[in-house]
Amino acid sequence: MNTQVLLKVDKLSRRFGGLIAVNELSFYVNKNEILGLIGPNGAGKSTTFNVVSGFFKPSSGTLNFNGQDITGFKSDRVSRLGLVRTFQHDSMLRDMTVYDNIVIGTFSSIKHKAERDARVRETAELMGLIEVLDNVAGSLPHGLQRLVSIAIAFAARPKLLCLDEPLTGLNQTEVVSVLEIFHRMRQEYGISILLVEHNMKAVMEICDRIVVLDHGEFLATGTPEQVQSNPNVISAYLGK
């Protein structure tokens, strides 16, 4: 396999009873790449995330991550290998402080308290959460809660960060600063990103490459320019 490839998804399918949510989907994410995964509602994007991150078992197909076959691995094992995801809806312990939420993201992999504290602070620094570390997560405004969700995932210092609609509900200023954070994660930490997002302007701006899904199937791939001018993509998705 090409050593540039970090995640390889091969003929992945996932059924729910009679419904085929994802059908023979193949794509890859390169090291240091920001790959967009787009498509209309119900296209199978979140299901793809759930299968790739080990929350659901695939019905068929294979997953290779960082040179290792991870097909059928459970989520905790997948995340320990460096593939970490966020959820479409914020997931955090709402009654706990931002600090303690970020600690959870380190998987207790850091035994020394001082080292763990440094990891939490460095994470909060990059995410712009330093000033709210002692606040209860559930009491923060929506934009900051989003950042906490992402911070929990980033605290693990994954090789691949899978983000499910991270920009939903953010205002334009917040979107700009979150995109800047994604750039820094890649540049300063070598993190690759798989991004599911409906904000097309943001997707086109930040992604190196895009994969388009429709009805659970691969529809198209290419650079943002190529995808935007692809007639099949326009009629299935962008034109709507």
Site string for Mg ion, 158-187 (x = CB under 5 A): ------------------------------
Q: Kindly report the backbone phi and psi dihedral angles of residue 129, in degrees, each rounded to the nearest multiple of 5, phi listed first.
A: -115, 5
- What per-residue string of b and e applies to 9-28 under the rule 16 or more CB within 10 Å gives b? beebbbeeeeebbbbebebb
203 forms part of the interface with ligand ADP (CB under 6 A): no
CB of residue 29 vs Mg ion: minimum separation in angstroms? 18
86 binds Mg ion (CB under 5 A): no
Compute the chain's Rg from CA coordinates.
Answer: 18
CB of 61 to ligand ADP, least distance (A): 15
Burial 123-151 (b: 16+ CB within 10 A, else e): bbebbbbeebbeeebeebeebbbbbbbbb
Tell me the site size for Mg ion, rule CB under 5 A: 2
CB of 48 to Mg ion, least distance (A): 9
The encoded tokens of residue 159 equal 């090789």
Please identify, among the stretches 15-23, 104-112, 136-144, 172-180, the one whose residues bind ligand ADP according to the rule CB under 6 A. Answer: 15-23
List the Cα angle 143/147/149 in 5-degree steps.
115
Q: Mark the segment that binds ligand ADP (CB under 6 A) among 13-21, 120-128, 182-190, 224-232.
A: 13-21
Q: Does residue 21 belong to the site contacting ligand ADP (CB under 6 A)? A: yes
* Helix, strand, coil % over all residues of the chain, rounded to 5: 40, 25, 35
Stretch that binds ligand ADP, among 38-46, 111-119, 129-137, 175-183 (CB under 6 A): 38-46
Backbone angles phi, psi at 238, to 5 degrees: -65, -30
Interaction of residue 46 with Mg ion, rule CB under 5 A: yes
Least distance in angstroms from the C-beta of 153 to Mg ion? 16
Q: Using CB under 5 A as the criterion, which residues of the chain lie in contact with Mg ion when the complex forms?
A: 45-46
